[in-house]
Structure 1
Amino acid sequence: MKKLFNIIAVFLLISSSAVVAQQTSGKEATPSRIVGVAMDSKTGDPVAYATAALYVAGSETNIAGAVADGDGKFFITGMDLGTYDLKVSFLGFETKTVNSIQVVSKTGEVNIGEIQMTDEGLALEEVTVQGQRDLIEERVDRTIYKAENDKTTAGGDGTDVLRRVPMLSVDLDGNVSMRGSSNITVLIDGRPSAIAASSITDALKQIPADEIKEVEVITSPSAKYDAEGTSGVINIITKKNNLQGMSANIRTGVGLRGSDLGLNASARKGKFGFTLGGHGRAGYNTLGSFENTQMTLNEDGTTSTVIQSADTKSNMLFGRYNFGVDYEIDKYNFLTGAVNFGIRNRSSDQDNFITQNFIDGSLIRNALRETDTKDNSNSVDISLNYTKTFEKKGKDISLLTLYSRNNGENSFVNTLFEEDLSTINSRLKNDNPSKNEEFTVQLDFVEPLGKDGKSILEYGAKNILRKAYSDFAYFAADGADGAYVESENPNLSNAFSYDQNVTAGYVSYTATLLKNYTIKPGIRYEYTTIAADFKTESSVADIPSYGTFVPSLNLSRKLSNGNLIKASYNRRISRPSLRYLNPNINASNPLQISQGNPELDPEFTDNYELGYSTFFKSTMVSFSGFFRNTTGSIQSVRTVEEDGVIYTGYDNIGNERAYGTNVFTNISIGNKFSLNGSVDAYYAFLDNGLTNPLYAASNEGFVISGRLFGNYTLPKDWQVQAFTFARGRQVQLQGSSGGFAAYGLGLNKQFDEKRGSIGFGADNFLTKEFKIKNEIITPTIVQNSTNIMRNMNFKINFSYRIGKLSVDQKTRKKKSVTNDDLKSGSEGGASEMTQNK
């Protein structure tokens, strides 16, 4: 631990030295530099964070570059005397070129003034934009990954996209974590979805990768956001347009492991705009296997050993369909409405499921099973939002409403064979239909202050009413033809309801101090009431209401040449989501059963972060350090039942600490080649706080993950992209989860003036299968398991756009509800309200 603090001290010293160096340099003779301001020619606003690249006049030799600050201003240094061409670019704008810039002195300043940038849509059919756009954009409070520029994800889903995003880690099952924590909030277009609240993994698999425009990673949410998310918020922004006219786009892909089909259409005429679309994705031919060895210490002093193995197979069908309309009542009043439907059907089979039981090394039982699991669900989100703007720029009032519902149908059938391994002895079935509803109303006010309007006051209120219902039952049948008989045990067959109401108010203030400093303090208060009950016999202890103050503070300082240093603190609350509360017993593997706990309390986390971003020539480097401390952490509690069965439950017994850093770099060489990569590393310490030596547990260690992405533009509109990702071993309270690596290669060709494209891709084409080894170690349990997945994939993608669009001069930012207040991380063996695995 001492070495770790030394590392952090060195990290902070380097950051401080870089800042001092920047400040000290200002006292010396100013070297030659080129200064300019990127401006939107249509609105007159600065184009924040535009990229400026300097080339030797009349060539493609890149000499230096910079990224504009929040006011669109950039400074370029490091060039010799001579004549240069400047190219300024930003997503959604045409690349602007300024030719023949003369640098005639080694000191002083060449001011080229305002550079008027034109919306790319104004010349959609005529202009071919040259140059490589960056995939990553760094802002004061977030990192933005521009997914629409990544062709290697074509034919995939949201899971494939998030694997490429800095600071995020995604395992082979699609479980997402940020800086080592799975307690995050995922928003879609700035608003929640009922299925995302129940299962982030399911939500990501419903969104086709080709429909994701960008992903925002918000590590320090302000008071405006719900108080959830130990690590922060992920906002997935899908492709939308504010164009006049009509357009339609069809996209399809066929692969060895999956296929997809999507159709999007949009129309805009005058004050009305409409969108209609649907995307479906089928997954098939996903084969694998698993092995499990567990040893448990019995109360009589004997040792039980269980060895299990099975072949696995899964098929799935995902879909997401939407209809949206917006109406401009007048210059200052707007209405938007949307309906989104989602479907997720998945079947998983375990064949040749062999279980061998030993007592003190002697074989006492050999059993063969087959397990068929079905996980089907559908969701609907209905929103209606009203926004009023004013003549004063930046001032607005929003009334936002959202209704979300997710219906689940989850079941499994476990078939046990006789000793001859061919005759069916008995069958066990579990049905768990469920429903999760949310009703949300939110009122937000934004008030610019001062003559320049750069100070902003935000305040508002919100109410979320949740209703969850789980109807679960177990059935047993003799032989292959026996009728199923429902269990009368209320612990196995019952109905559970869980109602939760969260009322919140917040205020946040943003101010610029001494020109280069920005401060954003905020406070949020949330009051929660809960009512939970069973249909028969069983009862839940009264859960008291509670109120919580959640402060936040963000600080930043702009340095020369676009460099930025920032620091932040925030406190978060994490209410248990339905996956941790569901009392249904998951016994699809009868030797590893799990069950949620309806009486869980929330957990609280304090987050501290320090970050620094710098730019030189055509390279951007950003690194940050963070500390996270969680109390009352929801942790699994494993005990040994009869016959060596491991039972997993949940309780607020944990304390988690994490110290870490993230380093990201983006390198552009000319306008043809770009390379970016990142490394995430943190030191985790976990402790369940128990004193009983049979159950007390703690664990600690380093966790390292990384990714690398390369893009090269070939002649005649060909493009090749390659990607690799590696996730290191994950430290868990009672053991660890093994790491893995994945990679992909894509080739894309655009045609017909870029209306259409065809692509070829290969994933993990040199790897037959992935193996992930997990272990659990306690005083009474030692378990080693291996999951194997065959994930080699080859795919062909095709898309084509018809219709001609022109820019709507009255584009505006749409607002929507965001619910960010549930702990919804994934852990092996978790039992879900809406999903049995």
Structure 2
Amino acid sequence: MNKHFLHLLLTLGLWSGLAQIQTSNAQFGPPGGGPGGPPGMNNQDGQRKKTEFTGVADDTPKGNGKITGLLVDSTSGKPVEFATIALMNVKTNKPIDGTTSDAKGNFTLSKLAPGDYRLQYSFIGYKNLDSKPFTIEKGTVLNMGSVKLPADVRTLGEVNVVGQVALIEEKVDRLVFNADKDMTSKGGDASDVLKRVPMLSVDLDGNVSLRGSQNIRVLINNKPSTIVASSVADALKQIPADMIKTVEVITSPSAKYDAEGAAGIINIVTKKITLHGLTLNVDAGAGLRASNLGLNGSFRQGKLGISLGGFGRAMYNRASSTLDQTTLVGAQSLRTSQQATAFDKPIFGQYTLGFDYDLAKNQSLTANIRYGTRNFIQQQTQLTSTFAMDSLLSMTNRDVNRKDLSNSVDMNLDYVRTFKPQQEWSISTQYSRTGLVNNFYADILGQAGELTARQRNLNNNTNQEMTIQTDYQTPIRKNQLLEFGGKAIMRKVDSRYEYQIGGSTGDLIYDPTNPAGALIYNQNIGAGYISYTYVTPSKYTFKVGTRYEHTGISAKASTTNETNEYVNLNIPSYSNLVPSVNVSKSLKGGTTLKAAYNRRIQRPGLQQLNPNVNKANPQNISVGNPNLSPELTDNMELSVSSTIKKTYLNAAVFGRITNNAISQIRIPSDTMAGSIITTFQNIGVQRTVGANVFFNTSITAKWSINGGLDGYYMYMQGTTAGADGKSVTINNSGISIGGRLMSQLQLDKGWSAQVFSFFRGPNPQLQGTMGSFYMYSVGVRKDVANKRGSIGLAAENFVGNGVTMRTTLNSPLLSQVNVNHLYNSNLKVTFTYRIGKMTFEENRRKGRSVSNDDVKDGGGDGGGQQPQAAPAGGGRPK
């Protein structure tokens, strides 16, 4: 139910003697709204009463008087539609008749008896306005002219509201984390925000997991981006925490979403300025590990809205690691010991330009351009010793400079036409392109520290994508909604790589002993879907659908830079039918039960396909596998949520079965003694069962606490190389438990404080266990300049000397213990300020947009609400 009709019904319900309001208990959606019922049919608490207005009461005086007029916004001059106009008796000061303004702001009251009256105008977001008293005689026709309704400035946040928006909200197919309530992430980036979201885990490298799986899809305003597709961890550092409004965790996506993302979808929703006028927001921060500066402006006048933004973030982190591994080479056992230190100096930035324009009252057009840049530079020293039978075989000292650089452009153009409430058609187009450079340069030093040799790896990648999609939805009666649409995605990857070597002096030349070449990978996807929502009178909501996707792949590879001869890779095309079912049941007392099933596919990502052999650390060589095929996952989930007094509780159990699972595999190198190659394979199966519970409670009106626990059991089975050179079947299983706790306190005179803590236990992998880690922070903030700005201070991991994580790997041919120490103690100061004048303007309808949630990120082991308009995004070829 939109706000116009809700306000009308509430107002009419107060007019005693004028109308008979008949209610039934028909259920039009689950608590919290969202897509559990047809869009627009849910109010704030998820229930909607069916109303029937039967007309004016029989005792209302009748006559032939008439009143007409036009309601307009006092600032913009736009018509105010669906506002309430009450005819008040001057003597009794009670309403005796009434009506509402139409879509053009016009209103009419007829058949009025003679008497002394006044009109009272009211609508959400505006001040109540009373007309001067007037007299109606027999046959009087009175035109009130253009009535200017003034905005209620209290809707602009100038009023001190005691109640607080919940930090965590639940909708029919997702959990919503209101990030703008989190102050300790100010001055940080998106990874700092995601660390605080229930069911999510962010490791020390910034890799994100949902319920123990990194097989997820990350969207920004319901859109992907090629830079996100290349590396989720790096892309999150480009998004300023101060611009994030909410983070949506979608564990059971409907058929409308792309079938990719085995564990689910994470949608990061940024703040959008919907008020009228010219504004400029400044966000700045300085800390021991990072500094940032952001400028975001907007202009909105009449039918046109323009936004322009820029953000930059520079980081400076130190880390160290130790490695102790044993490999079996033939009959000989080799032990390798390595000590390494690193100094990271990444710089990230993004710039956005957006337009939206109302072509007509029921048609809108949006266009967005986003440019992102990443400059990740790392200086590393590596001291490696190799032993056989406790005798030193070799010692190598390397100084390595890594450059991981990229630039991405995402552009979109979206059109939407609304025929009537809940019936609309949209068409969306999107183009995205990313250039990615992943190089390293190494100086090889002798035992006395002298330069003996040099090495360089060049790896240049280009990813581009073109998407077009169309969607249509229409209501069927009052409790059913039908949605269907189609989509086409054209992707292309071009990756070229080579090694160069040289002595202590002179030019570098092509290295014939290391692989070089190129990969050209084309992927074309055609998809169609249908989704049906039905809400029963007994408060059951059913959302069922199915999606069909056909993926065609053509790929060719070259194994040398000296010729342009390519060999075709015979990667077969494939088709998938992916059903989804979401069921919810609302009980008395605000309790909701939900059950869901869906099938997902996970296509390999660029880092998993890229055949470049990365030897930046010769003891841990990484290489992709162009012959990977997609994995299929069946997901099941049961959950219950309820509000008990001031405490919100949610508990869920889930299960996940993945076939043809993509996972990292470690094997000893055939060419370099003591080193390990990390690659990707379709290993076999993964089975996961788990549960999570979280709460949010308000101890007082100004003090809230939230937190939760989650855990899962995972079983993995796959193949790897055995001691005799043949493949052997291996398996591993384990339990991982994590939790978080956060408390926020609003103090007097604009002061506020927050504490946050998080831990994640050991995480099982096919060949070992990833170590546990933790983090914590505390922050305070003071509002200044009548809440136009704020100054904050936050400290992170300030006890001790950073975080240590211990990872172990085991297989028939190798064992490894890797200890990483991140010196991430941090102290930061943040500053925000808003410039410009805001005036009220009704919400503008935005166009739908492309959402390519269908690829898998390259890091780590594979372990609704309807989409709204958003800034441009893209996806990368896979």
Where on the TM-score scale, by shorter chain, does this alignment land: which range? 0.7 to 0.9
What SS class does the counterpart of residue 688 from structure 1 fall into? strand
| Residue 782 of structure 2 corresponds to residue 759 of structure 1 | no
Indicate which of 314, 327, 339 corresponds to 2:369: 339
- Alignment correspondent of 2:758: 725
Q: Percent identity?
A: 43
* 1:406 and 2:434 aligned: yes
What is the alpha-carbon distance in structure 1 between the residues aligned to residue 32 and residue 810 of structure 2?
A: 51
CA contact (8 A) 2:312 2:349 kept: yes
1:361 aligns with 2:386: no
Deviation at 1:128, TM superposition (A): 2.1
Matched, 1:196 2:224: no
* 2:783 maps to 1:750: yes
Query: In 1, distance between residues paired with 2:717 and 2:861?
Result: 18
Cross-structure match for 2:323: 292
* Partner SS for 2:184: helix
User: Structure 2: which amino acid aligns with 1:281?
Assistant: R
| 2:701 matched residue in structure 1 | 671
Question: Which one of the candidate residues 379, 391, 394 is aligned to 2:408?
Answer: 379
Would you say 1:815 and 2:848 are equivalent positions? yes
Kept after mapping to 1: 8 A contact 2:32/2:46: no
Q: 1:247 to 1:425 in 2, by over 3 A?
A: same
The equivalent position to 1:169 in structure 2, one of 183, 201, 225, is: 201
After TM superposition, the score normalised by the length of structure 1 is: 0.84
1:631, 1:245 → 2: CA distance?
54
Equivalent of 2:622 in 594, 598, 621: 594
How far 1:810 sits from its partner (Å)? 4.5
Counterpart in the other structure of 1:432: 459
Contact 1:41-1:117 within 8 A present in 2 as well: no
802-811 or 339-348: bigger deviation: 802-811
| Alpha-carbon contact 1:525-1:547 (below 8 Å) kept | yes
Give the alignment of 1:297-308 within 5 angstroms: 297-299=328-330, 301-308=331-338
Return the alpha-carbon distance in structure 1 between the equivalents of residues 566 and 661 of structure 2. 26
Contact 2:30–2:584 (8 Å) recurs in 1: no
Which among 490, 513, 520 is matched to residue 497 of structure 1?
Answer: 520
Shift in Å, 1:808: 2.0
Q: Distance in 2 between matches of 1:413 and 1:510?
A: 57
CA contact (8 A) 2:325 2:336 kept: yes
Residue 433 of structure 2 is aligned to residue 457 of structure 1: no
Q: Distance in 2 between matches of 1:457 and 1:834?
A: 30
Task: Give the Cα separation in 1 of the matches to 2:740 and 2:696.
Answer: 12
- State whether structure 2 residue 586 is matched by structure 1 residue 610: no
Alpha-carbon distance, 1:211 to partner: 0.4
What is residue 801 of structure 1 aligned with on the other side? 834
Letter aligned with residue 658 of structure 2: T
Of 257-266 and 695-704, more deviation after overlay is shown by: 695-704
Shift of 1:240: 0.3
CA distance in 2, matches of 1:366, 1:686: 37
Per mean C-alpha deviation after superposition, the further-off stretch among 684-693 and 182-191 is: 684-693
Tell me, in whole angstroms, the C-alpha distance in 2 between the residues paired with 1:702 and 1:48.
Answer: 33
CA distance in 2, matches of 1:121, 1:546: 57
Deviations 1:79-109 (A, max 9, x none): xxxxxxxxxxxxxxxxxxxxxxxxxxxxxxx
Judged with a 3 Å threshold, the aligned counterparts in structure 2 of structure 1 residues 759 and 728 are, in CA distance, closer, same or farther, namely same
Residue-pair matches, total:
732
Residue 330 and residue 297 in structure 1: after superposition, are their counterparts in 2 closer, same or farther (change >3 A)? Answer: same
3-state DSSP class of the match of 2:163? coil
Residue among 340, 344, 358 paired with 1:310:
340
Alignment counterpart, residue 484 of structure 1, candidates 508, 513, 517: 508
Pair 1:644-2:667 in alignment:
no
Q: 1:644 to 1:419 in 2, by over 3 A?
A: same
Report if aligned partners of 1:662, 1:678 keep a CA contact under 8 Å in 2: yes
- Whole-angstrom CA distance in 1 between matches of 2:845 and 2:31: 20
Superposed displacement of residue 41, structure 1: 6.2
Aligned partner of residue 701 in structure 2, secondary structure:
coil
Question: What is the one-letter code of the residue matched to 2:496?
Answer: D
Counterparts of 1:181 and 1:667, CA distance in 2 = 28
Q: Deviations over 1:310-351 (max 9, x none)?
A: 111111111111000000011111000000011111111112
Structure number, greater radius of gyration = 2
Report the Cα offset of residue 230 of structure 1: 0.9
User: Which residues of structure 1 form unaligned runs of 5+?
Assistant: 1-36, 52-66, 74-114
Q: 2:611–2:626: 8 Å Cα contact kept in structure 1? A: yes
Distance 1:333 1:68, change over 3 A: closer
Distance 1:815 1:798, change over 3 A: same
- Structure 1 counterpart of 2:379: 349
Aligned residue identity for 2:231: S
Alpha-carbon distance between aligned partners in 2 of 1:460 and 1:671, rounded to the nearest angstrom: 45
Determine helix, strand or coil for the equivalent of 1:696. strand
| 8 Å CA contact 2:781, 2:793 repeated in 1 | yes
Task: Please tell me the residue identity of whatever aligns with 1:711.
Answer: Q
Does structure 1 conserve the Cα–Cα contact (< 8 Å) formed by 2:427 and 2:471?
yes
**RMSD, aligned α-carbons:** 2.4
User: Post-superposition shift, 1:557?
Assistant: 0.3
Matched, 1:209 2:236: no
After superposition, the C-alpha distances for 1:32-87 in whole angstroms (9 at most, x for unaligned) are xxxxx999866879998579xxxxxxxxxxxxxxx9631268xxxxxxxxxxxxxx
Q: Which residue of 1 aligns with 2:811?
A: 778
Amino acid at match of 1:249: N
The alignment partner of 2:345 has SS state of strand
Match of 1:29 in 2: none
Output aligned runs, 1:278-289, within 5 Å.
278-284=310-316, 286-289=317-320
The one-character-per-residue Cα deviations of 1:104-148 (angstroms, maximum 9, x if unpaired) are xxxxxxxxxxx9975997532642222232100011110000001
1:686 Cα shift? Answer: 0.6
Q: Which residue of the other structure, out of 65, 71, 77, is the alignment partner of 2:47?
A: 71
Counterpart of 2:493 (choices 460, 468, 471) is 468
State the 1:765 CA deviation.
Answer: 1.1
Q: Deviations over 1:726-765 (max 9, x none)?
A: 1111100000110111011110111222111111111111
For the pair 1:448 / 2:475, whether they are aligned, the reply is: yes
SS at 1:644 equivalent: coil
* Counterpart amino acid of residue 684 in structure 1: M
Residue in 1 that maps onto 2:56: none
Letter in 2 for 1:447: T
Match of 2:740 in 1: 707
Corresponding residue for residue 522 of structure 1? 545
- Distance in 1, Cα, partners of 2:30 & 2:243: 25
Compared CA separation, residues 135 and 633, structure 1 to 2 (3 A): same
* Structure 1 residue 374: Cα displacement: 0.8
3-state SS, counterpart of residue 193 of structure 2: helix
- Taking structure 2 as the reference length, the TM-score comes to 0.80
1:788 aligns with 2:828: no
Report the alpha carbon displacement of residue 197 of structure 1 after superposing the two structures with TM. 1.4
Pairing 1:510–2:529 present: no
1:334-371: CA deviation from partner (whole Å, max 9, x where unpaired) = 000000011111111112x2111101211121221111
How far off its partner does 1:645 sit? 2.1
CA distance in 1, matches of 2:728, 2:370: 46
Contact 1:383–1:402, Cα closer than 8 Å, also in 2: yes
Distance in 1 separating the partners of 2:831 and 2:722: 60
| Distance verdict in 2 for CA 1:364–1:593, change over 3 Å | same
